[in-house]
Amino acid sequence: MSGKQHYYGDYSNRDTNENQNALSRPVRRHLVHVYLALAAMCAIATVGTQVGEYLGPAGSTLGSLGAIGSVSTFRFTAPNSTSRWSLLGAYSMFSGIALSNFLSFFMDWDPSGNVIFLALSSAVLIFLGFSFSAVMANRRSMLYIGGFSSTIVSVLLWLSLANAFFLRSASVFSFELYAGLLAFAGFVMYDTQMIVERASAGSRDIPGHSMELFMDLYSLFIKLAQILMKKEMDRENERKKKRGSSRLTRDF
């Protein structure tokens, strides 16, 4: 009899855990709205890159200032208010404008656009994979990653300063890129689970939650683009070295 009670007790505990991990219908609906808003932000940012290209070199500065101003004002607006949605759209536009010079540099180096396309598609796939894994995982199981990622970013900040003024090492720069990519991938999982927990607690701030995920995706794209471009530059340098050595061989 005790064995039966223990047997059924295990099942009841398992059912309780499954019920705790299951997302309610309002939370699932909220996540759908957040991802749709995120897609709209990406579309607006794409338009912003075209505007930034039209503005020229001044576009990057204007976009950066506009993005900072939008985020600063965004914090003081009420959740889901009209002003909050307007600032969300403005932030998306200014983020795209700020990215225009960055993209122009890559297009000058690689006119085919393969590097940008590969970086963008990889960033989207990584984001979706990590975000959906956080949604499907046990609730609160990945919240510790936020502290881990924040620590990495803090260390990288000091390391980048040391590398800029003292070390000047290409290996350290490569480490910064890959460690930064790891940190922002961690932020995707952390922010996704935080959104789930806030939505479960009654906070359905679609613009605020969309902005958090947009920042993660934006950072992933920049890091991946830098990594891919560095690889292309290293390959080009290797080709030049081989050409130079082959010319010397012919001369002798």
Residue-wise pLDDT tens digits, 95-132: 999 999 899 888 888 888 888 999 999 999 999 999 99
- Distance (Å, rounded) from C-alpha 6 to C-alpha 219? 49
With cut-offs at 50, 70 and 90, classify the pLDDT of residue 239: confident
% helix, strand, coil for the chain, step of 5: 85, 0, 15
Q: What is the mean pLDDT of residues 55-72?
A: 92
For residue 179, give the nearest of 217, 152, 154, 148 by alpha carbon: 152
pTM value is 0.85
Predicted confidence at residue 65, as pLDDT, reads 95
Residue at token pair 């300063």: 161
How far is C-alpha 33 from the chain's CA centre? 19
Q: Which of 48-52, 167-171, 208-212 has the lowest mean pLDDT?
A: 167-171
